[in-house]
Protein backbone atom coordinates (compact mmCIF):
# COMPACT_ATOMS: atom_id res chain seq x y z
CA UNK A 1 0.00 0.00 0.00
CA UNK A 2 2.83 2.40 0.84
CA UNK A 3 4.48 1.77 -2.54
CA UNK A 4 1.20 2.49 -4.34
CA UNK A 5 0.72 5.73 -2.38
CA UNK A 6 4.27 6.87 -3.20
CA UNK A 7 3.74 6.03 -6.88
CA UNK A 8 0.53 8.07 -7.03
CA UNK A 9 2.22 10.89 -5.12
CA UNK A 10 4.66 11.26 -7.99
CA UNK A 11 1.66 11.78 -10.28
CA UNK A 12 0.43 14.66 -8.13
CA UNK A 13 -2.20 12.67 -6.20
CA UNK A 14 -1.95 13.42 -2.47
CA UNK A 15 -3.56 11.38 0.32
CA UNK A 16 -5.12 12.69 3.53
CA UNK A 17 -6.06 10.07 6.13
CA UNK A 18 -8.89 10.55 8.64
CA UNK A 19 -9.38 8.02 11.44
CA UNK A 20 -12.73 7.10 13.01
CA UNK A 21 -13.65 4.72 15.82
CA UNK A 22 -11.32 2.67 17.99
CA UNK A 23 -10.99 -1.13 17.98
CA UNK A 24 -7.86 -2.01 15.99
CA UNK A 25 -7.20 1.62 15.00
CA UNK A 26 -3.46 2.20 14.45
CA UNK A 27 -2.62 5.87 14.77
CA UNK A 28 1.03 5.37 13.81
CA UNK A 29 0.06 3.48 10.64
CA UNK A 30 -2.39 6.18 9.59
CA UNK A 31 0.30 8.82 10.10
CA UNK A 32 2.77 6.86 7.96
CA UNK A 33 0.27 6.53 5.11
CA UNK A 34 -0.51 10.25 5.22
CA UNK A 35 3.21 11.07 5.21
CA UNK A 36 3.79 8.85 2.20
CA UNK A 37 0.92 10.57 0.42
CA UNK A 38 2.08 14.14 1.15
CA UNK A 39 -1.16 14.72 3.02
CA UNK A 40 -2.43 15.27 6.54
CA UNK A 41 -3.63 12.93 9.26
CA UNK A 42 -6.37 13.54 11.83
CA UNK A 43 -8.42 11.45 14.24
CA UNK A 44 -12.13 12.23 14.47
CA UNK A 45 -13.47 11.27 17.91
CA UNK A 46 -16.11 13.92 18.55
CA UNK A 47 -18.50 16.12 16.58
CA UNK A 48 -16.42 19.13 17.61
CA UNK A 49 -13.30 17.55 16.13
CA UNK A 50 -15.20 16.69 12.94
CA UNK A 51 -16.31 20.32 12.56
CA UNK A 52 -12.73 21.45 13.19
CA UNK A 53 -11.08 19.14 10.64
CA UNK A 54 -13.80 19.07 7.96
CA UNK A 55 -15.17 22.57 8.54
CA UNK A 56 -12.93 25.21 10.04
CA UNK A 57 -9.67 23.65 8.80
CA UNK A 58 -11.02 21.94 5.67
CA UNK A 59 -8.77 23.69 3.17
CA UNK A 60 -5.73 23.24 5.39
CA UNK A 61 -6.52 19.55 5.79
CA UNK A 62 -7.29 18.78 2.17
CA UNK A 63 -5.14 21.21 0.18
CA UNK A 64 -1.36 21.03 0.41
CA UNK A 65 0.40 24.31 -0.44
CA UNK A 66 3.97 23.21 0.32
CA UNK A 67 5.53 19.76 0.30
CA UNK A 68 8.78 18.33 1.68
CA UNK A 69 8.96 21.13 4.21
CA UNK A 70 12.18 21.15 6.24
CA UNK A 71 13.19 23.48 9.04
CA UNK A 72 16.73 23.89 10.34
CA UNK A 73 17.51 26.02 13.41
CA UNK A 74 21.01 27.24 14.26
CA UNK A 75 21.57 28.89 17.65
CA UNK A 76 24.21 31.55 18.26
CA UNK A 77 26.80 29.84 20.53
CA UNK A 78 27.56 33.20 22.13
CA UNK A 79 23.98 33.22 23.42
CA UNK A 80 23.05 29.55 23.82
CA UNK A 81 25.37 26.89 25.20
CA UNK A 82 22.97 23.94 24.88
CA UNK A 83 19.53 23.19 23.47
CA UNK A 84 17.14 20.36 22.68
CA UNK A 85 14.10 20.02 20.47
CA UNK A 86 10.97 18.95 22.35
CA UNK A 87 9.13 16.23 20.44
CA UNK A 88 9.29 15.57 16.67
CA UNK A 89 11.43 12.47 17.26
CA UNK A 90 9.82 10.77 14.26
CA UNK A 91 10.47 13.83 12.08
CA UNK A 92 14.18 14.32 12.67
CA UNK A 93 16.51 14.41 9.67
CA UNK A 94 20.28 14.28 9.44
CA UNK A 95 21.95 17.66 8.93
CA UNK A 96 22.95 16.77 5.39
CA UNK A 97 19.35 15.86 4.49
CA UNK A 98 18.26 19.50 4.68
CA UNK A 99 19.74 20.29 1.27
CA UNK A 100 18.88 16.91 -0.26
CA UNK A 101 15.74 17.31 -2.40
CA UNK A 102 15.43 13.53 -2.64
CA UNK A 103 14.63 13.25 1.07
CA UNK A 104 10.91 13.19 1.84
CA UNK A 105 9.66 15.53 4.56
CA UNK A 106 6.42 16.99 5.91
CA UNK A 107 3.69 18.97 4.19
CA UNK A 108 1.85 22.19 4.98
CA UNK A 109 -1.81 22.74 4.25
CA UNK A 110 -3.51 26.03 3.46
CA UNK A 111 -3.63 28.19 6.60
CA UNK A 112 -1.63 25.72 8.67
CA UNK A 113 1.11 26.76 11.08
CA UNK A 114 3.90 24.67 12.58
CA UNK A 115 5.02 25.08 16.19
CA UNK A 116 8.32 23.73 17.47
CA UNK A 117 9.58 24.18 21.03
CA UNK A 118 13.23 24.24 22.00
CA UNK A 119 14.52 24.15 25.54
CA UNK A 120 17.69 26.21 25.75
CA UNK A 121 20.39 26.82 28.35
CA UNK A 122 21.81 30.33 27.97
CA UNK A 123 25.51 30.99 28.11
CA UNK A 124 26.64 31.51 31.72
CA UNK A 125 23.92 29.35 33.27
CA UNK A 126 25.10 26.25 35.14
CA UNK A 127 23.17 23.05 34.54
CA UNK A 128 23.50 19.40 35.54
CA UNK A 129 22.53 18.47 31.97
CA UNK A 130 25.71 19.98 30.53
CA UNK A 131 28.68 17.63 30.73
CA UNK A 132 32.25 18.82 30.69
CA UNK A 133 34.13 18.19 27.44
CA UNK A 134 37.50 19.29 26.11
CA UNK A 135 37.59 22.31 23.84
CA UNK A 136 37.81 21.40 20.17
CA UNK A 137 41.04 22.44 18.49
CA UNK A 138 39.65 22.90 14.99
CA UNK A 139 36.38 24.67 15.73
CA UNK A 140 35.40 27.58 13.51
CA UNK A 141 35.08 30.86 15.39
CA UNK A 142 31.67 32.48 14.98
CA UNK A 143 31.65 35.97 13.47
CA UNK A 144 28.53 37.22 15.25
CA UNK A 145 30.00 38.03 18.66
CA UNK A 146 28.95 41.66 18.52
CA UNK A 147 25.40 41.07 17.31
CA UNK A 148 22.22 40.40 19.23
CA UNK A 149 21.15 37.47 17.03
CA UNK A 150 19.74 34.57 19.00
CA UNK A 151 19.20 32.09 16.18
CA UNK A 152 18.81 31.63 12.45
CA UNK A 153 15.90 29.69 10.97
CA UNK A 154 16.18 28.09 7.54
CA UNK A 155 12.97 27.00 5.86
CA UNK A 156 13.10 24.81 2.75
CA UNK A 157 10.06 23.67 0.77
CA UNK A 158 8.79 22.62 -2.64
CA UNK A 159 5.71 23.78 -4.51
CA UNK A 160 3.01 21.05 -4.63
CA UNK A 161 3.88 20.33 -8.28
CA UNK A 162 7.60 21.11 -8.00
CA UNK A 163 10.72 18.97 -7.61
CA UNK A 164 13.26 21.65 -6.70
CA UNK A 165 13.14 23.16 -3.22
CA UNK A 166 13.15 26.84 -2.34
CA UNK A 167 14.97 28.34 0.65
CA UNK A 168 13.88 31.05 3.09
CA UNK A 169 16.22 32.32 5.81
CA UNK A 170 15.38 34.53 8.76
CA UNK A 171 17.22 35.58 11.91
CA UNK A 172 15.67 36.02 15.35
CA UNK A 173 16.91 38.77 17.65
CA UNK A 174 17.32 38.25 21.40
CA UNK A 175 14.74 40.62 22.90
CA UNK A 176 15.43 39.62 26.53
CA UNK A 177 11.69 39.49 27.20
CA UNK A 178 10.43 37.83 30.36
CA UNK A 179 7.82 35.07 30.52
CA UNK A 180 5.17 37.58 31.60
CA UNK A 181 5.65 39.37 28.29
CA UNK A 182 5.09 36.20 26.25
CA UNK A 183 2.06 35.99 23.97
CA UNK A 184 -1.04 33.98 24.82
CA UNK A 185 -0.26 31.61 21.95
CA UNK A 186 3.18 30.94 23.42
CA UNK A 187 1.82 30.27 26.90
CA UNK A 188 -0.86 27.90 25.64
CA UNK A 189 1.60 26.05 23.40
CA UNK A 190 3.96 25.72 26.35
CA UNK A 191 1.13 24.17 28.37
CA UNK A 192 0.55 21.56 25.65
CA UNK A 193 4.28 20.79 25.49
CA UNK A 194 4.51 20.45 29.28
CA UNK A 195 1.49 18.13 29.35
CA UNK A 196 3.09 15.93 26.69
CA UNK A 197 6.30 15.71 28.72
CA UNK A 198 4.30 14.81 31.82
CA UNK A 199 2.52 12.01 29.95
CA UNK A 200 5.92 10.66 28.91
CA UNK A 201 7.24 10.97 32.47
CA UNK A 202 10.14 13.05 31.16
CA UNK A 203 13.26 13.55 33.25
CA UNK A 204 13.69 17.06 31.85
CA UNK A 205 10.83 18.74 33.73
CA UNK A 206 10.60 19.81 37.35
CA UNK A 207 6.82 19.48 37.73
CA UNK A 208 4.59 16.46 37.27
CA UNK A 209 1.54 18.30 38.59
CA UNK A 210 -1.32 18.75 36.11
CA UNK A 211 -2.40 21.91 37.93
CA UNK A 212 0.69 23.63 36.54
CA UNK A 213 -0.40 22.70 33.03
CA UNK A 214 -3.90 24.02 33.68
CA UNK A 215 -2.59 27.31 35.09
CA UNK A 216 -0.33 27.78 32.08
CA UNK A 217 -3.12 26.92 29.63
CA UNK A 218 -5.56 29.31 31.32
CA UNK A 219 -2.99 32.11 31.09
CA UNK A 220 -2.84 31.49 27.34
CA UNK A 221 -6.50 30.70 26.71
CA UNK A 222 -7.32 34.10 25.24
CA UNK A 223 -10.60 34.62 23.36
CA UNK A 224 -10.91 30.96 22.24
CA UNK A 225 -13.93 31.46 19.98
CA UNK A 226 -14.09 27.79 18.91
CA UNK A 227 -13.50 26.39 22.39
CA UNK A 228 -10.47 24.28 21.43
CA UNK A 229 -8.31 25.59 24.24
CA UNK A 230 -11.08 25.14 26.78
CA UNK A 231 -11.43 21.55 25.54
CA UNK A 232 -7.71 20.96 26.21
CA UNK A 233 -8.09 22.30 29.75
CA UNK A 234 -11.07 19.97 30.34
CA UNK A 235 -8.99 17.06 29.02
CA UNK A 236 -6.15 17.74 31.45
CA UNK A 237 -8.58 18.06 34.36
CA UNK A 238 -10.18 14.71 33.49
CA UNK A 239 -6.90 12.76 33.82
Range of the domain at 232: 177-239
120 lies in the same domain as 184: no
How much is the average pLDDT of 90-109? 89
DSSP 8-state assignment for residue 147? S
74 lies in the same domain as 160: yes
- The answer to whether residue 135 is domain-embedded is no
Weakest-pLDDT range from 55-64, 159-168, 198-207, 209-218: 55-64
Q: How confident is the model at residue 185 (pLDDT cuts 50, 70, 90)?
A: very high
Weakest-pLDDT range from 121-130, 183-192, 193-202, 218-227: 121-130
State the burial class of residue 229 (Cβ atoms within 10 Å of its Cβ: 0-12, 13-18, 19+). Answer: buried
Task: Say what the pLDDT of residue 239 is.
Answer: 85
- Overall domain count for the chain: 3
| End-to-end CA, the chain | 37
- The answer to whether residue 152 is domain-embedded is yes
104 lies in the same domain as 169: yes
- The answer to whether residue 132 is domain-embedded is no
Task: Say what the pLDDT of residue 175 is.
Answer: 87
Task: Say what the pLDDT of residue 144 is.
Answer: 63
- The answer to whether residue 22 is domain-embedded is yes
219 lies in the same domain as 186: yes
Q: How confident is the model at residue 218 (pLDDT cuts 50, 70, 90)?
A: very high
Please name which of 161, 157, 184 lies closest in space to residue 169, comparing C-alpha atoms: 157
pTM of the predicted model as reported, rounded to 2 decimal places: 0.80
164 lies in the same domain as 99: yes
13 lies in the same domain as 45: yes
Amino acid sequence: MEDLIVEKRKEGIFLTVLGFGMGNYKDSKMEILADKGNGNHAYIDTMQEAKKVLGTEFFGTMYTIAKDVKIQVEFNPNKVQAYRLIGYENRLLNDEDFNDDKKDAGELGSGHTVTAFYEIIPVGVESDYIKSIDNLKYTKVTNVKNTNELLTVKFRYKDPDGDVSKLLVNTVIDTNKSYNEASEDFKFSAAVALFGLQLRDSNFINTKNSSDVIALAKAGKGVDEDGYRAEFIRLVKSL
